[in-house]
Amino acid sequence: MAKIEIKTDALNYECDEAFKALRTNLQFCGDDKKVIVFTSCTPDEGKSTVVHYLAMSLANTGKHVLLIDADLRKSVMAGNYRIPETLKGLSHFLSGQAPLEDVLCNTDIDTLNVILAGPMPPNPSELLAGETFHKLLGAARETYDYILIDCPPLGSVIDAAIAAKYSDGAVIVVEAETISYRFVQEIKEQLEKGGCPILGVVLNKVDIRGQKYYYNYYNKYGKYGKKYGYGKYTKYYGDSETKKK
Ligand SMILES: Nc1ncnc2c1ncn2[C@@H]1O[C@H](COP(=O)(O)OP(=O)(O)OP(=O)(O)O)[C@@H](O)[C@H]1O
Ligand SMILES: [Mg+2]
């Protein structure tokens, strides 16, 4: 099995806290929520970033995590790792061009394995809908505590809804101040129609210097809010909270 080296920027205090909160909320969803799809309404809302840090955060607590880059059309996740040029990816495996052991990678975190997307195939949706992907997830369920699947935005292509059919739940990543409530609602309904429960929403790229979020943040974290309250922040809303909104 190839070993790939994770490249990361150190998280600031508030991001680190946000990922701990996201990790904890996910764990409270129950141990039957193993296979989790991450999608969004539009590109660039931060899915790959969120899923990457969440996978590391879960794995650092000793959970066995498999991170699958299922964005077969425009993968950026490979950029998060130092990888050998010959490494094969999910598209090779799903099209029968490589066995699982050639695409499954170890990382510098013992309990984190990764499958990168590989080159873009001509038929991404068909590959994800196929029995091979279903079987891969079935086998992974036996080995891992969490299988996190990074998908393309559902507002652009159907792939996330296809992957969600084989999953136990979905998390929608929403870029703050950019996406309308109605658009998120549509994506939520589309996922639910396929039978996939929504576990929650990650509100990403929140400018905590903006008054609205700054005061929420400050009230929640007391003195630390003021000291570390800069930059973009990631906040998780569990299902019960999103229903209230
Ligand atoms: N909380 C954040 N604060 C600041 N920048 C962020 C944050 N989250 C993500 N980004 C940046 O936004 C850009 C898009 O992020 P990312 O690639 O994770 O989005 P994505 O939703 O996976 O995009 P795509 O739909 O193309 O797959 C990247 O440059 C990333 O570094
Ligand atoms: Mg992405």
Closest residue CA from atom 10 of ligand 1: 46
Is any atom of ligand 1 closer than 6 Å to the C-beta of 232?
A: yes
**Cα 65 from Cα 143, distance rounded (Å):** 9
Strand pairing report for 198-207 and 232-238: antiparallel
Tell me the pLDDT of the chain averaged across its residues.
86
Is any atom of ligand 1 closer than 6 Å to the C-beta of 74?
A: yes
Is any atom of ligand 1 closer than 6 Å to the C-beta of 190?
A: no
Nearest ligand to the C-alpha atom of residue 46? 1
Is any atom of ligand 1 closer than 6 Å to the C-beta of 159?
A: no
Give 8's pLDDT tier (boundaries 50, 70, 90).
Answer: confident
Is any atom of ligand 1 closer than 6 Å to the C-beta of 11?
A: no
Residues with CB under 5 A from ligand 2 (ion): 47-48
User: Ligand 1 mean position to 111 CA, how many Å?
Assistant: 24
Residues in the chain: 245
Is any atom of ligand 1 closer than 6 Å to the C-beta of 45?
A: yes
- Provide the Cα torsion 196, 135, 41, 124; round to 10°: -140
**pLDDT (0 to 100) of residue 84:** 80
What is the tens place of the pLDDT at every residue in 18-30?
999 999 999 999 9
**pLDDT (0 to 100) of residue 218:** 38
What is the tens place of the pLDDT at every residue in 173-214?
999 999 999 999 999 999 999 999 999 999 999 887 764 554
Give 137's pLDDT tier (boundaries 50, 70, 90).
Answer: very high
Give 53's pLDDT tier (boundaries 50, 70, 90).
Answer: very high
**pLDDT (0 to 100) of residue 228:** 26
- Provide the Cα torsion 198, 74, 87, 92; round to 10°: 80
Closest residue CA from atom 5 of ligand 1: 205
Closest residue CA from atom 8 of ligand 1: 46
**pLDDT (0 to 100) of residue 245:** 42
* Burial environment of residue 240 by CB neighbours within 10 A (0 to 12, 13 to 18, 19 or more): exposed
Residue 75 predicted with pLDDT over 60: yes
**pLDDT (0 to 100) of residue 238:** 57
Percent of the chain having pLDDT more than 90? Answer: 72
Percent of the chain having pLDDT more than 70? Answer: 85
Residue 220 predicted with pLDDT over 70: no
